[in-house]
A = this chain, B = another copy of it.
């Protein structure tokens, strides 16, 4: 199969900017014809993840999470909602109005898993689900299990909350992912049928107005355009992003703020409202920019990215501070115990930064992507792959944070699709050569854009160890550029090619190594994994006089089972002393534990008054204790315990 695939790609590359002919070539994003894309992500199947950090997480995803989640979706009637509509089953309508999207997202996750490894049994399961879903689709193309029957009259009437287009977006993404896994277009064509119905009936006056009350369709439409080459899909995305229907839909500012939709995307100057909506809208807007080069979009995207990273992003890459409205807060409003930081929002952050990276090649976007991936997203699924976080707080007094099921179960299948698609985030090509974004034991089996087959083997203990060895093997000696990401967190990095140091290594940038590469050439990267204490901007008042610990891409925390005193009574001490790093293979499926001198208040703080003169407070006595930090993503896997990321300083 592979040689054929490469031949087809070779044929395509002779027709630059044309519509791709082969579903096998299309990655998480298919940007080969996108005018503003400076790189083209490789397909998921081109990268095989080897042993190590992500191997275990992805195994839990494929072997435990994806199968058990389908059982839960069935048990909770999500698929029966479709069977009910088609008359295949007599079942009550269940779940919230947006629950169709949950099974779509599950299919997308399973389809990404198939992109890595075909599995006839899983394909049969999906085909049967697709059959049940499409049997419920109306001849017009319309499909939404909750807005049918008695509620059909509400269609397109309450777009601020009914999630019709949100569900369609996920249907399309699932259809595309399954098509890219198998070449089977049936589900994709079902989604297209609904989109074509929209295009026929909705749009600028005199057509009826349309709104994505929860942005999502925009990015799905962009990818549909990339998949089909049909410009009308991109145009519909542009119409939705244009927010031109504020008046026809009588939208209030409180609504358009919350929805991050309904006014021109290009009028936005800061993040407000529902965080997932905002991240998906920004992802869709970046897709639109990648295809159109519209400068107003680019300016807005840069402004928003600055607002997020300077004011509103947790150190875990999570966003959305407030439980109320699952929303962004004010600048510097980043509470820890009360953090909402929905898993879906961190995933949206990753999706958006992947697109910003594709538009620029700027490693600061990869840094944010990696931060969200290893921390705020990775925390969302338990180590065994059966429990999920909806919220991902940065401090806890031990409340229940992981659950097998949520009535609003958007996050679990979102994490599934992210982990399943992960190989597609590692590499991209451009006409000069190859971009390396992420590091992990892995094998790339792909080709340069000039058609020369290329294999790259990564050998590394990343993220636990700082050395990465790349064995670069073009099919024949070829001059091309290798762009190696130097993570922003690495205070000291060295790169060697066949043992010879390369100059110009800079943290937070891609190192360009252009040379004649011969099969078996070795690149050695050494990143500094020195644990580092980070401070917040003092305007994040809650983190005043406290520090967060990071080692490589991993944010650390104190969790109660590892401590000798209540977490809340602990603080750091002797900052001049180093952290001691030990890999413990038996703890939390193997993690590097970081130990450091600390101190604990002798009198539990719970016993102290709420307010008193500062002179009295300063006299509180402490005793020395050793602090043991574990990676944040691994917390809450041993029961319900207190946890803290931002630890007070002495």
**A532 interfacial by beta-carbon distance below 8 Å:** yes
Any B CB within 8 A of the CB of A337: yes
The contact string, 1 if C-beta is below 8 Å from chain B, for chain A 507-550, is 00000000000000000000000001111111111111111100
Give the residues in chain B near A606, CB-CB below 8 Å. Answer: 539
Asked if A614 and B534 make an inter-chain contact with CB atoms under 8 angstroms apart, the answer reads yes
On whether the beta carbons of B330 and A537 are closer than 8 Å, the reply is: no
Contacts of A548 in B (CB 8 A): 611
Contact status A648-B538, CB under 8 Å: yes
The 8 Å CB contact of A614, one of B330, B533, B610, is B533
Whether A323 is near chain B, meaning CB under 8 Å from some CB there, is yes
Q: Is A477 part of the binding interface, using a Cβ–Cβ cutoff of 8 Å?
A: no
Asked if residues B613 and A532 are in contact (CB atoms below 8 Å), the reply is yes
Kindly list chain B residues whose C-beta atoms are within 8 Å of the C-beta of A311: 610
Interface residues on A, range: 35 or more
Does any Cβ of B come within 8 Å of A407's Cβ? no
Which residues of B are found within 8 Å of A610, using beta-carbon distances? 309-311, 313, 536-537, 540
Secondary structure type dominating chain A contacts = mixed
A541→B539 contact, CB < 8 A? no
CB of A622 to closest CB in B, whole Å: 11
Q: Name which residue of chain B comes closest to A649, CB basis.
A: B614
Q: Are A534 and B613 in contact (CB under 8 A)?
A: yes
CA distance A333 to B617 in the complex (A): 19
A150 within 8 A of B: no
List chain B residues, Cβ under 8 A from A329.
338
Task: Indicate whether A609 sits within 8 Å of B310 (C-beta atoms), given known contacts A546-B544, A547-B614, A646-B541.
Answer: yes
Residue of B nearest to A620 (CB): B538
Q: Nearest chain-B residue to A607 (Cβ)?
A: B310
Instruction: Determine if B544 and A544 form an interchain contact, defined as CB atoms under 8 angstroms apart.
Output: yes
A601 to B545 CA separation, bound complex (whole angstroms) = 16
CA distance A547 to B618 in the complex (A): 12
**When the two chains form their complex, are residues A535 and B617 in contact, meaning their CB atoms are under 8 A apart?**
yes
User: Roughly how many angstroms separate A614 CA and B646 CA in the complex, as a whole number?
Assistant: 12
Given the interface contacts A323-B324, A537-B605, A610-B537, does A545 sit within 8 Å of B544 by beta carbon?
yes
- Tell me the smallest distance from the CB of A147 to a CB of chain B, in Å: 27
Bound Cα distance from A311 to B309, whole angstroms: 33
* Residues in B whose Cβ lies below 8 Å from that of A601: 538
Are B648 and A614 in contact (CB-based, < 8 A)?
no
Residues from chain B with Cβ under 8 Å of A337 in the complex: 330, 333, 541
Instruction: Kindly report which residue of chain B lies nearest to residue A399, judged by CB atoms.
Output: B330
A577 at the interface (CB under 8 A from B): no
Q: Are A333 and B324 in contact (CB under 8 A)?
A: no
Cβ of A534: which chain B residues have Cβ within 8 Å of it? 611-614
CB-contacts of A553-598 with B (<8 A): 568, 575
**Across-interface contacts of A545 in B (CB, < 8 A):** 544-545
Q: How many copies does the complex hold?
A: 2
How far is the CB of A569 from the nearest CB of chain B, in Å?
9
User: With the chains together, A275 CA to B313 CA distance in Å?
Assistant: 30
State the CA gap A610–B315 with chains docked (Å): 9
- Asked whether, in the complex, the Cβ of A546 is within 8 Å of the Cβ of B541, the reply is yes
Chain B nearest Cβ from A613, distance in angstroms: 6
* B611 close to A315 (CB less than 8 A): yes
A335 within 8 A of B: yes
Query: Residues of B contacting A535 with CB < 8 Å?
Result: 611-614, 616-618
Q: Are A609 and B537 in contact (CB under 8 A)?
A: yes
CB contacts (< 8 Å) of A538 on chain B: these are 601, 605, 608, 617, 648
Q: Which residues on B sit within 8 Å (CB–CB) of A617?
A: 535, 538
Contacts of A315 in B (CB 8 A): 611
Q: Determine the distance from Cα of A311 to Cα of B605 in the docked complex, in whole angstroms.
A: 11
- For residue A646, which residues in chain B have a CB less than 8 angstroms away from its CB? 541
Q: Any chain B CB within 8 A of the CB of A397?
A: yes
Q: Report the nearest B residue to A568, measured CB to CB.
A: B539
List the B side residues contacting A547 at CB < 8 Å. Answer: 614
Residue A336 is within 8 A (CB to CB) of chain B in the complex: yes
> Which residues on B sit within 8 Å (CB–CB) of A613?
532-535
Query: Could you say which residues of chain B place their CB within 8 Å of the CB of A614?
Result: 533-535, 547, 575, 649
- List which A353-398 residues lie within 8 A (CB) of chain B: 395, 397
Tell me the bound Cα distance from A601 to B337 in angstroms: 28
Measured in the bound complex, the distance between the Cα atoms of B610 and A333 in whole Å is 11
Within 8 A of B (CB), among A596-647: 601, 605-606, 608-614, 616-618, 646
A648 engages B544 (CB within 8 Å): yes
- Can you list 23 residue pairs at the A/B interface with Cβ under 8 Å? A309-B610, A313-B610, A315-B611, A323-B324, A330-B337, A330-B397, A333-B337, A336-B541, A534-B611, A535-B614, A535-B618, A536-B611, A537-B608, A537-B611, A538-B601, A539-B605, A540-B610, A541-B542, A541-B546, A541-B646, A544-B545, A545-B545, A614-B649
Task: Give the interface of A toward B (CB within 8 A).
Answer: 309-311, 313, 315, 322-324, 329-331, 333, 335-338, 395, 397, 532-548, 568, 575, 601, 605-606, 608-614, 616-618, 646, 648-649
- Extra contacts, 13 of them, besides A309-B610, A533-B613 (Cβ < 8 A), are A310-B610, A330-B337, A333-B338, A337-B541, A533-B614, A535-B617, A536-B611, A537-B609, A538-B648, A540-B610, A544-B648, A547-B614, A548-B611
